[in-house]
Amino acid sequence: MSDEFIPVLSPLEARFEKLRSRAGLILAPLAFLLVWFGDFETLRGNEPAHRLAAVMSCVVTLWLTESLPMPLTALLGATMCVVFRVADAKEVFAPFADQLMFLFIGSFMMARAIFLHGLDKRMAYSVLSLKAVGSSPTRILFAFGAVTAVTSAWISNTATTAMMFAIGLSILQFLLRESAAGNAPKIDMRYATGLMLMTSFSASIGGLATPIGTPPNAIGLGMIRQQLGVDVPFFKWCLVGMPVVLGIFLFLFVYLNWLCPAGAKELTGSRELIARRKSELGSWTAGQISTAVAFLVTVTLWVLPGVGELVLGSQHANVKLLKSMFPESAPALLGAVLLFLLPGDRDGRALNWKEATQIDWGVVLLYGGGFAFGVLAQKTGLSDAIGRSLITLLPQGSSSFGLLVAATFVATLVSEATSNTASANIVVPVVIAMAQQAGIDPLMPAIGATLGSSLGFMLPVSTPCNAIVYGSGYIPLTRMIRYGALLDVAGTIVIVTMVSLIVPLIR
């Protein structure tokens, strides 16, 4: 699910974005023609791979420049593959029916219900109103970020940011009014910057925890399963993603708390404001209860095969049965169906069809297009050709760990220049191809690239989350760049550390 927003950019940034968009309309056809008529030693005698390389060079250019909506570019690329005889239509469009597409659809419907019934807002105010949080600026900053991260593990990062942004902004405006009226201590404006950055950064970080937390996770998992034949189920991903989230979030909290002090020991009136906002929500509604039940059923079915594997072992007959019955897509769709059956506040059901269709279909189509390119690159041999071309860039004797570091770092850099989903679509298949050609186990570098694609914190245009909070006016651009760069470095280190330690244990 996504929410509409208008990013607030400086005049210079707006001109750059306009130039970038226009340039893509020229550079994309040029890239296509250069590759189409180029002579590449690794592609000689393989016409389907050569044609696919030309199509992908055009598509990647359009993704980087965002001259067209990214889902439309994915569909355009798939269509070009048919027109230019890379493969027949049945083979090209088959990945659009992959089971992970239905994981997206089901989980997006669940997220839509959570948002519509205000279940996310109820959780946020419940945590922020705890006595343990009180009026301490440090504890409020921590609790605010923790709620944001946990919420974004289950619904879209953008929707989470939009909700928490509104809550954080109301808290800041109340405190500033009270301070101006002399009813509360003066608040250091650096704290406002810290709270806004905590909103955006925590949402992006929290999405790493689960396969459905952010689209790059599912994109990377789909490519790993298709190209490597390795299935990373929901529970196993969480065993990697949750420690990564915890490590990056703790670092984020420590440095924001240090660099963005409130200038007061207590934020007078903040606890009362939050308690008042919570009371305005009233008692639990039928829709909220039904949505919570459907959500818990879905999560239980997601983690049940993994728990069974830990208790009984992966070869136990019942564990194999659970895995076959409940792949990630099945619980997501079952949970979505429950929303149409359980009682709600509108039309007598927790979710109706009109509301369900308002999910982000663009992300679904974008995933399908990216997955189609990955499948075609493997079948035509293009991935092997790319791997042979790029393998010379690796230092002599490179290991899986060395490629993991490089893959995570490159994915982070690419995500600064373009969207996280584009970064995953571009970097993950290249990393897999390089590892295979080098005789290196591709799993760790591929997971590192997948996680690294969700970093990129430096610019308002890096993620929708950054754009939303930048519009508050409380974040100087130079401060977002400095703090974002610091988090990029720390995030890369945490991802490399956790992936290298945990992935070998759960493979």
159-203 pLDDT, tens digit each: 788 778 878 887 887 777 777 766 667 778 888 899 999 999 999
Encode pLDDT of 296-348 as tens digits.
898 888 888 877 877 777 678 887 888 888 887 888 899 999 999 999 887 78
- Quote the pLDDT of residue 136: 85
- Quote the pLDDT of residue 320: 83
Q: How far apart are the first and last CA of the chain?
A: 31
Given a cut of 50, whether residue 5 has pLDDT beyond it is no
Average the pLDDT over 19-31 and give the result. 92
Instruction: Enter the tokens of residue 493.
Output: 């280190």
Residue type, 311: V
Using CA atoms, how far residue 78 sits from 35, 91, 236, in Å, is 17, 10, 31
CA atoms lying within 13 Å on the CB side of residue 115: 25
Encode pLDDT of 53-76 as tens digits.
999 899 988 887 878 887 899 899
Given a cut of 90, whether residue 451 has pLDDT beyond it is yes
Tokens 């055009």 locate to 58
Going by C-alpha positions, the residue among 17, 63, 1 that lies closest to residue 427 is 63
Give the DSSP H/E element, type plus range, for residue 427. Answer: helix 420-438
Torsion of CA 65, 71, 76, 82, to 10 degrees: 130
Residue type, 362: G
Under the banding of pLDDT at 50, 70 and 90, the label for residue 480 is confident
Instruction: Determine the Cα–Cα distance for residues 135 and 101; give it in Å rounded to an integer.
Output: 44
- In SS3 terms, 20-86 reads as HHHHHHHHHHHHHHHHHCCCCHHHCCCHHHHHHHHHHHHHHHHHHHCCCCHHHHHHHHHHHHHHCCC
Higher pLDDT, 119 or 350: 350
Average the pLDDT over 198-222 and give the result. 90
Please state the domain extents for the chain.
286-344
Average the pLDDT over 204-213 and give the result. 90
Q: What percent of the chain is helix, strand and coil (3-state, nearest 5)? A: 75, 0, 25
448 CB-near residues (< 8 Å, 6+ apart): 404, 405, 407, 408, 411, 431, 495, 496, 499
Q: What are phi and psi of 93, to 5 degrees?
A: -90, -5
Under the banding of pLDDT at 50, 70 and 90, the label for residue 130 is confident
Higher pLDDT, 421 or 184: 421
- Quote the pLDDT of residue 459: 74
- Quote the pLDDT of residue 125: 79
Given a cut of 80, whether residue 9 has pLDDT beyond it is no
Encode pLDDT of 354-367 as tens digits.
989 888 788 788 77
What is the phi-psi region of residue 342: left when phi exceeds 0, alpha when psi lies from -120 to 50, beta otherwise?
Answer: beta
Fill in the DSSP letter of residue 346: B
Q: Are 164 and 124 in contact (CB under 8 A)?
A: yes
CA atoms lying within 13 Å on the CB side of residue 236: 21
Q: Are 472 and 5 in contact (CB under 8 A)?
A: no
Given a cut of 60, whether residue 281 has pLDDT beyond it is yes
- Quote the pLDDT of residue 483: 92
Share of the chain above pLDDT 90, in %: 31
Given a cut of 80, whether residue 45 has pLDDT beyond it is yes
Given a cut of 50, whether residue 1 has pLDDT beyond it is no
Given a cut of 60, whether residue 38 has pLDDT beyond it is yes
Given a cut of 70, whether residue 4 has pLDDT beyond it is no
